[in-house]
Amino acid sequence: MRVYETNADQCVLPGIYMVARIDGRSFSRLTRVVCKFDAPYDVRFRDMMVETVKHLMQCGFRIVYAYTQSDEISLLFHQCEDSFNRKLRKYHSILAGEASAKFTSSLGQPAAFDCRISQLPNQELVVDYFRWRMEDAHRNCLNSHCYWMLRKQGMDANDASKHLLGMSVADKNELLFQNGVNYNDLPTWQKRGIGFYWQTVAKEGVNPQTGEMTVTERQCVKVDFELPRGDALDELLQSLNVAGE
């Protein structure tokens, strides 16, 4: 019977960059109706997503860089990652399961994620991918703040959506400004998302044989709430050695 299970197996070719995008399923209802998180942003939800990303970076795959905004997570694999012979079904199921389990544990309510893999042939497209997701974060941030400002002023969901339909970015910024919100002053993590990467830190300890103080180096996950944009983001990704050399 194994052939019926493996017949459609697809594997990513060696040397191709893999980026997993993991999205929350029905999270609008989960966050607004079931858990009643603050809108448009709630630091409790943010922190649960942060812990979920940190868990994914340490669940058995070589992750070079990770990114989260809203209810989505992107993971950039080491270029030489070859777990499960790069079978897509294994990556999809394991990552969706790990994210769902960790977030459910943090939230105390059932939560589910799906997963897909982008196969990118060069480093330039890797950078473009993360620029794309950051631009989506910017768009979501502006729209969400405008929408929920109108809702809190008494508009229902339909009217608030219609009011924003067709408005330019400049008009939305002006709408916020006229109501006491300067978009530029909003937290960077809301406008650009949050980045994660490994960094080497020094840790003091005691040599158990000599009793002397020692300093060792260890790798830990850096959570970056102040991500740069544009060329500075390119430089950050390049500094993380996304080529896996």
Whole-angstrom distance, CA of residue 126 vs CA of residue 121: 8
Please list the ranges in the chain whose pLDDT falls under 50. Answer: 244-245
As a residue count, the chain comes to: 245
Distant-in-sequence, close-in-space partners of 89: CB < 8 Å, separation ≥ 6: 9, 10
Tell me what the pLDDT averaged over the chain comes to: 93
Joined tokens for residue 129:
């991918």
CA angle 48, 50, 56 (to 5 degrees): 105
Is the pTM above the cut of 0.95? no
Please report the pLDDT score of residue 241 as a whole number: 61
- pLDDT of 80: 92
> How far apart, in whole angstroms, are the C-alpha atoms of residue 89 and residue 105?
24
Domains delineated in the chain: 2-126 (3.30.70.3000)
How far is residue 19's CA from residue 146's CA, in Å, rounded to a whole number? 31
Q: How far apart are CA 118 and CA 20, in angstroms?
A: 6
* Contacting residues for 57 by C-beta, under 8 A, at least 6 apart: 63, 66, 75, 196, 198, 221
pLDDT at res. 242: 58
Cα gap 151→229, rounded to integer Å: 30
